[in-house]
Amino acid sequence: MNEKEFKIRLDKFLVDTFVGTRKQVKTLIKQKRVKVNQKIITNPDFNVFTKEDEVCLDDKVLTFQEHYYFILNKPSGYVCAKEDNINQTIMELFKSLPSHLVEKLFPVGRLDKDTEGLLIVTTDGIFNHLVSSPTHHIQKTYYVEYEEQLLDNACEILAKGLKIKNESFLPAKLEPITKNSCYLTICEGKFHQVKKMIHQVGGVVTYLKREKIGELVLPQNLALGEFLEMKQDDIYRLMKIYKKGN
């Protein structure tokens, strides 16, 4: 799957590549600092083809992207929301990016405030919809630490799927590590799902970290609170999801 080609006005191209605000980019164009295919263009309404044309600012080539994808190693203490009156949000961890881009970003699904680990943050609403859709059953693996002891047949209970009060959970894979830690792989994203499932088989979760979504693994060298940009092709491939027409 390759980035689509768009025909857009030069000033919009510059705004969308985070060169500046509409007013600022118009000034740059007037100052003759912008070239399209090696030619200075002074008309902000000039049409640019995003894949075919080479747009430069002061001889630096600008690359247009329809959407942005980041993976964040979420620290505890941040909520997965765009805004929150009480808590710090994961958006605050993206302060080094242009504010114009941060405004368009949102988290794909949610991790609890006290959960750490792999979170995808994107501008792509279709991707969010596909990854979050229950029909896709994308597997998510969590590293779990817990108090108390799990039932001897915890693996079998979780592998069958279960019902807690009125809520059903699809089969999950429990892999014990030590007496008080395990991996749990689930294919849904229900509220407090891991905590509820572990509780149902005798444990009380004390630490939770998401390590994998689909084939995407949290890089070991990505520190808590740091993020990494991913390419569209890679992230769709790792999620094994395909857009119509690609």
Q: For residue 10, give both structure tokens.
A: 């030069």
Q: Of these, 112, 145, 188, 211, which contacts ligand URA (CB under 6 A)?
A: 112
188 binds ligand URA (CB under 6 A): no
CB-based contacts of 217: which residues, under 8 Å, 6+ apart? Answer: 118, 211
Cβ–Cβ < 8 Å for 49, 6: yes
Q: Which is nearer to ligand URA, 195 or 212 (CB)?
A: 195
Looking at residue 81, the DSSP 8-state letter turns out to be S
B/e letters for 202-222, b = 16+ CB within 10 Å, e = fewer, are ebebeebbbbbbbebebeeee
Q: Which is nearer to ligand URA, 70 or 140 (CB)?
A: 140
Alpha-helix residue ranges (DSSP H) falling in the chain: 10-16, 22-30, 99-102, 125-132, 154-160, 193-200, 232-239
Residue 111: CB minimum distance to ligand URA, A: 4
Q: Which is nearer to ligand URA, 120 or 194 (CB)?
A: 194
Task: Spot the catalytic one: 16, 112, 124, 233.
Answer: 112
The interface with ligand URA within residues 202-231 (CB under 6 A) comprises 208
150 binds ligand URA (CB under 6 A): no
Q: Of these, 30, 51, 192, 240, which contacts ligand URA (CB under 6 A)?
A: 192
Q: Of these, 13, 50, 195, 236, which contacts ligand URA (CB under 6 A)?
A: 195
Q: Of these, 194, 201, 218, 235, which contacts ligand URA (CB under 6 A)?
A: 194
Q: Which is nearer to ligand URA, 65 or 200 (CB)?
A: 200
Q: Which is nearer to ligand URA, 64 or 143 (CB)?
A: 143
123 binds ligand URA (CB under 6 A): no
User: How deeply is 189 buried, as exposed, middle or buried, from its count of CB atoms within 10 A (0-12, 13-18, 19+)?
Assistant: middle
Among 34-42, 59-67, 110-118, 125-133, which window interacts with ligand URA (CB under 6 A)?
A: 110-118
164 binds ligand URA (CB under 6 A): no
Separate counts of helices (H) and strands (E) for the chain: 7, 19
Active site annotation includes 233: no
Residue 141 parent element (H or E): strand 140-147
Q: At what angle do helices 232-239 and 125-132 cross, to 10 degrees?
A: 10
74 binds ligand URA (CB under 6 A): no
User: How deeply is 147 buried, as exposed, middle or buried, from its count of CB atoms within 10 A (0-12, 13-18, 19+)?
Assistant: exposed
Binding site for ligand URA (CB under 6 A): 111-112, 115, 192-195, 208
Catalytic residue numbers read 112
